[in-house]
Structure 1
Amino acid sequence: MTLREATPDERSSWDDLVWGNPGGPELYQLDSYAQIKAPVWRARHLVHEHDGRPAVHALYLYRAVPPFGELWYCPMGPRVADADHARACFEDLRATGIGTPFAVVLEPSVPAEGPQDREQLIASVPGMREHPDLQQGQHTVLVDLRPDEEEILASFRQRARRHIRKTDEAVVEHRTDEEAFATMWTLYAETMERAGVERRSQDYHQGIWRRYVDAGQGHFVLARPREGGDVEAGAFVIHRGELGYYKDGGSLRTRDSNGLQYRVQWEAMRWCKQHGASTYDMYGAPPSWAAEDESHKLHPLVQFKTAFGPITDQVGTMQLVLKPRVFRVWDRVGMPVYRRLTARANPLFY
């Protein structure tokens, strides 16, 4: 078992290496995400190597939190295909001589059929603890874009097909202009406020959108209910290679906008398919086993997203404690203090 820093050659082709990980590609493991989280979080590009298994190229973010040391975070990673490979990566972290981590927050890409899979993985790793999920993509809806459009449409639930047919007069625009940034923020902010969901600042979200737009990987899909109408629904979509992602969305609550988000998603899928994507990630849902739990923060999205397909689950976020004494003080005192100090800039800390 080996955990090492990526070589200069690996760093120069990092995104392509991440795209080939055994657990599949992931946006939050790319250099672009590290740049989004800088300068608060710094990046370490590390490689897990194990005999008989493909290498795992893992982006670890870390921040110094004096006097405790370094807190590490592997967003939506490491990208492994099964629990045994995940455990091997966790052991690498226990033996690492890189940096001074006292704890590592992990989001391994291990499939889960129920909460027992998460519980079993945590119980099987010394020092592993529960942690609330940080990224919504742990549980998501994946739409297969490989069939023809009629077959894809037929795979949706009746609710989605009905709304798509009902909005056939809608005018849908694929845009990256400055006005589109402002329009999308209005739709997104109003939707998040209506749902009571905590969000980061306008600068943060628009900064993310701009980074992907500038990289040629992101654009806005905006919809008007009819020719000459106002934009009343929209989404920010990211596309890289064989994957399309629904990153953010929003709509007004008006009579005309009813069902318009279904049209937005369908046109986003069609665009991604036409540009080479074979999978469309709806990005973010409750766990499939909690889909009926009305107290779950993502429950309002269930009816909408599952109209396009079933929920796919991973084991979720967990935390590996490497220095128990340091961690106890951090957990009881340090983390609450740091949260208060950074709340204005980032209410979510991570």
Structure 2
Amino acid sequence: MLSGSGTAAAAAVARLANSTEVANWDALCAANPGGGEVWSGDAYLRVKCAEGRYRQHRVIVDRAGENPIAVGVLAKRVPLLGEWWHLPAGPAGEDASRVLETAAAVATLARSRGAFMLKIEPRTGPDSRTAIHAAGYRDTVRIIPNPSTILVDVSGSEADVFKRIGKKARNSITRAARDGIVVTRVAATEEHCAALFGLLQETAEGRFVLRAESYYRAFWQTFEAADAGQIFLAHRADEAGQLQLVAGAFAMGLGAKTTYKDGASVRAKTAYGASHALQWEVIRWANERGAVLHDLCGAPPSDRVDDTDHPLHGVGQFKRSFAPEIIDYAGAFDLPLKPWAFAFWVKLGDRLARRLSLAIRKDPYY
């Protein structure tokens, strides 16, 4: 039985959010099981529509005897096929069966509006994969950048948080302060956005694809305007006493959870501990916002944590100095809603859309 079937969805019904619900969208997301995901929040949906050529749907799933679930949907229309719907880091649910119940309701709504495919990336564990596959979903490439991640407990006082992070991180933070590294929270001005993007370019150097600078600037400024994001810059004085930029980061938050999204440092290793000091300031910001969890957003899967060939090995070692445990999620999945359209998309459409987006728009499709 497919997740989109009427029987599976009987206990839950999806509908488009009304104007009052749209106006209070982030609060509804934060009330979801698990505390909500910034990837389904207002700022993320708006910036992806403005800069990523998506459409958005804000969906409420009403559940008998249970609190409703707010589901952020990003969609793209494909000529002749219809829309595909993506639920970034979702849908939410108390467990895998509730996640599938919510997804089934959204699938019914999506099909009624002509969609040919539903993409989900639930925050359930790998042990839920069997149930997800049994519901008709097929493995696909992830869009949200943290299929495995590290979560830092940032509850309590700042002193409590500092005691909980790893000894290596504490030592690096202390040394960075002793060496004169200063981390500041700055506004997302043109100048500061350009500085952070420059660091991202230096770090990338062909190792990963960057979007256009205008995309990042719009992203950071949209989140800042919504009081949902912050840029951090780290400086150190050179021999002449002039402050030099050595690292930068951007973090975002929704409800009781914050997420580290973008970060980079200069390639020259002249500022030991700068990245730790930078992340510590992000964690302090998270704690001040009242967050209880900070998502370091990306790590090798737990079964490859010691694999030096994994592209995220170094990043993972750095992040594990704050908290050792790696959290693995189930993955990303597609549910066919129109079999013929889905078959065409898998065989040719997806590949063609990716190539055309890079060739014509110089921007990733997803």
Aligned partner of 1:255 in structure 2 is 269
Query: Aligned runs of 1:172-321 on 2, under 5 Å?
Result: 172-176=183-187, 177-193=189-205, 196-226=207-237, 228-309=242-323, 310-321=325-336
Distance 1:129 1:346, change over 3 A: farther
- From 63, 81, 87, give the equivalent of 2:94: 81
- From 156, 161, 167, give the equivalent of 2:170: 161
Aligned partner of 1:13 in structure 2 is 24
SS at match of 2:185: strand
The separation in 1 between residues aligned to 2:364 and 2:311, in whole angstroms, is 15
Q: Contact (CA 8 Å) 2:96, 2:128: kept in 1 or not?
A: no
Which digits, 9 at most, give the CA deviation of each residue in 1:104-145, with x for residues without a partner? 1111122x1xx4x1431332212x100122112332222112
Query: By how many angstroms is 1:157 displaced?
Result: 2.5
Aligned partner of 1:333 in structure 2 is 348
Which digits, 9 at most, give the CA deviation of each residue in 1:287-317, with x for residues without a partner? 2233234444433311111111122232221
The separation in 2 between residues aligned to 1:346 and 1:91, in whole angstroms, is 35
Aligned partner of 1:61 in structure 2 is 74
Which digits, 9 at most, give the CA deviation of each residue in 1:24-52, with x for residues without a partner? 21111112212112252111111122223
Distance 1:4 1:332, change over 3 A: same
Query: Aligned runs of 1:108-123 on 2, under 5 Å?
Result: 108-110=122-124, 112=125, 115=126, 117-123=127-133
Whether 1:34 and 2:45 are equivalent positions in the alignment is yes
Query: By how many angstroms is 1:2 displaced?
Result: 1.0
Query: By how many angstroms is 1:347 displaced?
Result: 4.4
SS at match of 2:197: helix
* Count of residue pairs the alignment pairs up: 344
Distance 1:292 1:38, change over 3 A: same
State, as a whole percentage, how many aligned pairs show the same letter.
31
SS at match of 1:81: coil
TM (norm. structure 2) is: 0.87
SS at match of 1:280: strand
Query: Aligned runs of 1:139-150 on 2, under 5 Å?
Result: 139-150=148-159
Distance 1:274 1:30, change over 3 A: closer
Q: Contact (CA 8 Å) 1:118, 1:316: kept in 2 or not?
A: no
The separation in 2 between residues aligned to 1:277 and 1:94, in whole angstroms, is 32
Whether 1:129 and 2:141 are equivalent positions in the alignment is no
Query: By how many angstroms is 1:241 displaced?
Result: 4.3
Which digits, 9 at most, give the CA deviation of each residue in 1:184-212, with x for residues without a partner? 11112211227x12221211111101111
5+ residue gaps, structure 1, are none
Query: By how many angstroms is 1:342 displaced?
Result: 1.2
SS at match of 2:218: helix
The separation in 1 between residues aligned to 2:14 and 2:288, in whole angstroms, is 39
Q: Contact (CA 8 Å) 2:43, 2:222: kept in 1 or not?
A: yes
Aligned partner of 1:348 in structure 2 is 364
The separation in 2 between residues aligned to 1:337 and 1:55, in whole angstroms, is 38
- From 33, 47, 56, give the equivalent of 1:22: 33
Question: How big is the alpha-carbon RMSD for the aligned residues of Structure 1 and Structure 2?
Answer: 2.0
Which digits, 9 at most, give the CA deviation of each residue in 1:36-80, with x for residues without a partner? 122521111111222233211101111110111111111111122
Distance 1:24 1:316, change over 3 A: farther
